[in-house]
Amino acid sequence: MSIILPERIGELVSSSVVARHPNNPILTPEQVPYGPALVFNAGVCKYNGKYVMVFRNDYGNAADYTLEPHHTTNLGVAFSDDGIRWDVQPEPCLKLHDEEIVRVYDPRLTVIDGRCYLCFAVDTHHGIRGGIAVTEDFRTFDILSMSAPDNRNMVLFPERVDGNFVRLERPFTVYSRGGKDRFDTWISDSPDLKYWGNSKLLLAVEQVPFANDKIGPAAPPVRTKHGWLTLFHAVDIDASRGKNGWEDSWKKRYTAGIMLLDLERPDIIVGMSRDPLLAPEASYEIAGGFRDHVIFPGGMILEDSGEVKMYYGAADAVECLATAHVDDLVALCLKGIV
């Protein structure tokens, strides 16, 4: 795919093919019994006949936004029969915190050959790392690999491709990209989920017409007959928007984009929508959050009916669901071929 120029930001609206679920937000801090101030950025999969959601808990005082809510962060788990109403488990399922690790956050779930894998980000005193773990019960997690810093937003494909596991990832190329957030999405493979290599640039921030800051992987890709349907997040900054949420200086907006990757060569982009799939518009996306104007997808499920469920954190505060038909999403991507 060639580079799309020039950058076009301005007014960004959600695609008409996508619908927000009427129950939104589908998970809020009030539903979580151990008192987080914010629950968001979940990974979701179908495993052993249930929907499973692993979500991020941030603590602090939601009533007093002058308090930083991030001083501890851990992961919680919930189960569901319909992917809409959630039975939240009484305790967090993963806490990573020691003299080196500050916190774990932004989980994604992928089932491969019947086993459930968790990708997660870890802040350490020596950089941000991306981890991969496997679990059978969502109580114990066996950590298989941790990347070198700085890297995060890892997602695993649900199948091996050409015999290898495949992941998308987002290294933080600070010095080499001009000292700013010019971060891109990369693709790597592995024979065993531990050793990763063959890394290639998949999608650069300047190829996304609705980003002027950075991009990153969102939900694990889903197989369709036309290619791997793949969500990503895209970030733009518009200083004129002013402060945007609880945080003192938050001026970014996070939208969701969608692209299609070749089934046999997922390092090749078959098509990409030139417009965002989801842009912040609903009340729970644009107001009252820790960081308003944030849509951060982490889970995508293709149902037998053709409905695609897309789960996303809204305003770094709550978890939401949007749906679309798979054919419409594929068509959006293919229309975007350049």
Q: Transcribe 259-286 into DSSP letters.
A: EEE-SS-TTSEEEE-SS-SB-S-SHHHH
Per CB under 6 A, 129 contacts ligand BMA? no
- Closest approach of ligand BMA to the CB of residue 54, in Å: 14
Binding mask 171-210 for ligand BMA (x = CB under 6 A): ----------------------------------------
- Total residues at interface with ligand BMA (CB under 6 A): 9
Nearer Cβ to ligand BMA (41/273): 41
Q: What CA–CA distance (Å, rounded) separates 61 from 63?
A: 5
Which class for 144: exposed (0-12), middle (13-18), buried (19 or more C-beta within 10 A)?
middle
Q: What CA–CA distance (Å, rounded) separates 307 from 311?
A: 13
Query: Which one of the spans 3-11, 82-90, 273-281, 290-298 is the region binding ligand BMA (CB under 6 A)?
Result: 290-298
Query: Which one of the spans 61-69, 203-211, 274-282, 289-297 is the region binding ligand BMA (CB under 6 A)?
Result: 289-297
Nearer Cβ to ligand BMA (78/294): 294
Q: What CA–CA distance (Å, rounded) separates 59 from 41?
A: 14
- Closest approach of ligand BMA to the CB of residue 291, in Å: 4
Nearest C-alpha neighbor of 96 from the set 116, 115, 118, 113 = 118
Phi then psi for 176, rounded to 5 degrees? -75, -10
Which class for 84: exposed (0-12), middle (13-18), buried (19 or more C-beta within 10 A)?
middle
Phi then psi for 97, rounded to 5 degrees? -160, 115
Residues 60-89 that bind ligand BMA (CB under 6 A): none
Q: What CA–CA distance (Å, rounded) separates 312 from 100?
A: 29
337 alpha carbon, distance to own chain's centre: 23
Rounded to a whole number, what is the distance in angstroms from the first to the last CA of the chain?
7
Per CB under 6 A, 106 contacts ligand BMA? yes
Q: Establish how many alpha carbons lie within 13 A of residue 275's alpha carbon, considering only the half-sphere containing its beta carbon.
A: 16
Nearer Cβ to ligand BMA (15/41): 41
Residues 294-323 that bind ligand BMA (CB under 6 A): 294, 296, 313, 316
Per CB under 6 A, 254 contacts ligand BMA? yes
- Closest approach of ligand BMA to the CB of residue 155, in Å: 14
Nearest C-alpha neighbor of 246 from the set 7, 18, 17, 38 = 38
Binding mask 11-50 for ligand BMA (x = CB under 6 A): ------------------------------x---------
Query: Which one of the spans 7-15, 204-212, 288-296, 317-325 is the region binding ligand BMA (CB under 6 A)?
Result: 288-296
Q: What CA–CA distance (Å, rounded) separates 119 from 110?
A: 8
- Closest approach of ligand BMA to the CB of residue 131, in Å: 15
- Closest approach of ligand BMA to the CB of residue 3, in Å: 24
- Closest approach of ligand BMA to the CB of residue 41, in Å: 5
Nearer Cβ to ligand BMA (284/296): 296
Query: Which one of the spans 23-31, 67-75, 86-94, 291-299 is the region binding ligand BMA (CB under 6 A)?
Result: 291-299
Nearer Cβ to ligand BMA (104/260): 104
- Bridge partners of 237, per DSSP, are 252
Nearer Cβ to ligand BMA (271/289): 289
Label residue 227 left, alpha or beta by phi (over 0 means left) and psi (-120 to 50 means alpha).
Answer: left
Nearest C-alpha neighbor of 101 from the set 62, 146, 142 = 146
From the list 129, 182, 251, 291, which residue makes contact with ligand BMA (rule: CB under 6 A)?
Answer: 291
Q: Give residues in contact with ligand BMA (CB under 6 A).
A: 41, 105-106, 254, 291, 294, 296, 313, 316
